[in-house]
């Protein structure tokens, strides 16, 4: 019974809404449409003035703003000569340009960073292919794709000295990490290690100076080990061992009489080494 009354109410509401919609439609049909002149009044549309308005846009200060902004940027970046023969704008040498030209060291750093990025890409591809490091390097050389950056001999020597200093301070560090610290490729470091011998990195006078310092430290503290002395001298332990053997071969004892060794090295002929 309750459902019957709900149905009656729904039918009543729907019928009432339909009647209202019909009455609104009849009123709209009976209402006459007004023209634009009746709504806005006569003369609201002046064809002559409208045509002129369409032809000539309203004046703006957009162009002045753009030129003003460009002038401000030129003053901040550096004055550009307008009468220059260069169509792109010649910057005068006495300009107030705040960006100085790149120096030789900047170019060197950029080249080193580029080489390091190339090495990282090559390493990623090598791992994907499952190739040995030396195999990939040899293939690149055979195909003419391996073109290492040219370093002056003095620069190579300086970097290799630094390599052995780092190796002496931390023998467990691997060459890959040292190459990153020196900003060179691992292939370059590997080639230089074969090319240079440690004794070539230090002239005989420098070897004498370091060995004198070694014996002085040993004389002051006989219990100190060579590993710690090598760190103090910033040389590799292997280098210190080789120099000790080299000096022993010419008649210098190492631990027995450190004071005498200092005197003998100081008065010795460099050619004897």
271 DSSP 8-state letter: G
Judged against a pLDDT cut of 70, whether residue 192 lies above it is answered with yes
Residue 31 has which token pair?
């209402």
Residues 6+ apart with CB under 8 A from 164: 198, 201, 235, 236, 239
Q: Would you state the pLDDT for residue 217? A: 92
The rounded distance, in Å, linking the Cα atoms of 37 and 35 is: 5
Residue 198 has which token pair?
């440690």
Most confident of 12-26, 95-109, 197-211: 197-211
Q: Which residue has the tokens 């190739």?
A: 131
Q: Output phi, psi for 61, to 5 deg.
A: -100, 25
Three-state DSSP class for residue 250 = coil
Tell me the whole-structure pTM to 2 decimals: 0.31
Judged against a pLDDT cut of 80, whether residue 166 lies above it is answered with yes
Angle between helix 186-195 and 153-169 (nearest 10): 100
Q: Is 217 exposed, middle or buried (0-12, 13-18, 19+ CB in 10 A)?
A: middle
Three-state DSSP class for residue 272 = helix
Q: Would you state the pLDDT for residue 177? A: 92
Most confident of 16-20, 39-43, 70-74, 243-247: 243-247
Q: Output phi, psi for 252, to 5 deg.
A: -100, 120
The rounded distance, in Å, linking the Cα atoms of 6 and 83 is: 91
* Rg of the chain over all Cα atoms, to the nearest angstrom: 44
- List helix spans (H) across the chain: 2-30, 36-40, 47-55, 62-77, 104-129, 133-142, 153-169, 175-182, 186-195, 198-201, 204-220, 226-233, 237-249, 258-267
Q: Would you state the pLDDT for residue 253? A: 47
Q: Output phi, psi for 253, to 5 deg.
A: -75, 165
CA distances (Å), origin 206, targets 109, 144, 244? 29, 40, 14
Judged against a pLDDT cut of 50, whether residue 198 lies above it is answered with yes
Look at 234 and 34; give whichever has higher pLDDT.
234
């Amino acid at each position: 019974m309750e459902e019957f009354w709900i149905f009656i109410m729904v039918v009543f509401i729907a019928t009432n809404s339909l009647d209202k919609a019909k009455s609104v439609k009849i009123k709209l049909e009976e209402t006459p449409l007004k023209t634009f002149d009746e709504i806005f009044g006569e003369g609201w549309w002046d064809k002559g003035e409208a045509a002129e308005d369409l032809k000539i846009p309203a004046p703006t200060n957009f162009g002045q703003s753009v030129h003003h902004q460009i002038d401000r940027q030129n003053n901040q970046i550096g004055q550009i000569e307008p009468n220059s023969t260069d169509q792109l704008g010649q910057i005068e040498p006495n300009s107030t340009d705040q960006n100085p030209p790149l120096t030789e060291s900047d170019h060197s750093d950029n080249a080193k960073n580029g080489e390091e990025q190339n090495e990282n890409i090559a390493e990623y591809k090598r791992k994907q292919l499952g190739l040995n490091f030396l195999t990939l390097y040899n293939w690149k050389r055979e195909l003419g794709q391996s073109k290492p950056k040219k370093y002056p001999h003095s620069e190579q020597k300086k970097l290799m000295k630094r390599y052995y200093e780092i190796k002496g301070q931390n023998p467990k560090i691997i060459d890959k990490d040292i190459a990153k610290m020196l900003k060179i490729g691992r292939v370059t470091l590997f080639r230089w290690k074969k090319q240079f011998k440690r004794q070539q990195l230090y002239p005989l006078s420098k070897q004498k100076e370091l060995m004198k310092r070694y014996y002085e430290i040993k004389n002051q503290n006989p219990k100190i080990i060579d590993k710690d002395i090598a760190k103090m001298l910033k040389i590799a332990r292997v280098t210190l061992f080789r120099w000790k053997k080299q000096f022993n071969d010419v008649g210098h004892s190492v631990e027995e009489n450190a004071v005498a060794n200092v005197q003998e090295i100081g008065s010795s002929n460099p050619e004897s080494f």
